Amino acid sequence: MVVGAPPDNRHTTRVREYYNMRAPEYDDWYHGTGLHADRHRPGWDAELRELQGKLAALPPVRTLDVACGTGFLTRMLAGDVTGLDQSAEMLAIAREQAPDAHFVRGDGLELPFADGEFDRVFTGHFYGHLDPQERARFLAEASRLAPELVVVDSHLQPEQPAELMQQRRLKDGSRYTVLKRYFSGTRLAAELGGGDVMHDGDWFVMVRKSR
């Protein structure tokens, strides 16, 4: 789950390193454990279960999960599912969590698949890390591969900036800077060029766009 960019982009290389290093502790964010154990997130667990239920209810089709990470959400998707991520460490965990899916290592902005190879492109907590140029590249790639796009990301919180460069720390004490954006359902749908807001909660947002 990392922003793609030219090889000489030092920030992008650093972000890739961050997600490789974070792989063993990534799901702590979902579970509220590890470094996230003290975070106050009222209603988080119930809303996460609701979101997972909505993902599981999507019709089973040929789905590409871009920047699938540890497969935490991939395992909810029904049908013929392929997960893609740049991190070998993330993919190793994903293969255990979603054993029925097929996994490929690759760049989320240069997807190594043929036009129309899928019925749906899905991505969770990837779109919100992309800068404007990268968003355009991703949306073009998604449109090339499938007639449907489903995006899950983080919901905007009260008195929180919609976009910031976050300082993130791992258990080993290392620190990284990551672009992070937050959305309302209507804002995300507008950025995607339209679509149905399928979830617009306190913590998560989900939009499905079909062409």
**pLDDT computed for residue 11 by the predictor:** 60
Q: What is the CATH number of domain 10-210?
A: 3.40.50.150
**Where exactly are the structural domains of the chain?**
10-210
Asked if 91 and 20 touch (Cβ cutoff 8 Å), the reply is no
Q: What pTM, to 2 d.p., does this model score?
A: 0.93
Asked if 79 and 63 touch (Cβ cutoff 8 Å), the reply is yes
Query: What confidence category does residue 6 fall into, taking pLDDT thresholds of 50, 70 and 90?
Result: very low
Asked if pLDDT for residue 5 goes beyond 60, the answer is: no
- 75, amino acid identity: R
**pLDDT computed for residue 131 by the predictor:** 95
Q: How far is 92 from 24, CA to CA, in rounded Å? A: 10
**pLDDT computed for residue 10 by the predictor:** 59
The encoded tokens of residue 110 equal 């240069």
Which tens digits make up the pLDDT trace of 67-96? Answer: 999 999 999 999 999 999 999 999 999 999
43-50, long-range: CB < 8 A, 24+ apart = 43/201, 43/202, 43/203, 44/203, 47/201, 47/202, 47/203, 47/204, 48/203, 48/204, 50/199, 50/201
What are the DSSP calls for 144-197, one per residue?
A: HH-SEEEEEEEBPPTT--SEEEEEEE-TTS-EEEEEEE-B-HHHHHHHTTS-EE
Q: Residue for token digits 């790639």?
A: 141
Asked if pLDDT for residue 159 goes beyond 90, the answer is: no
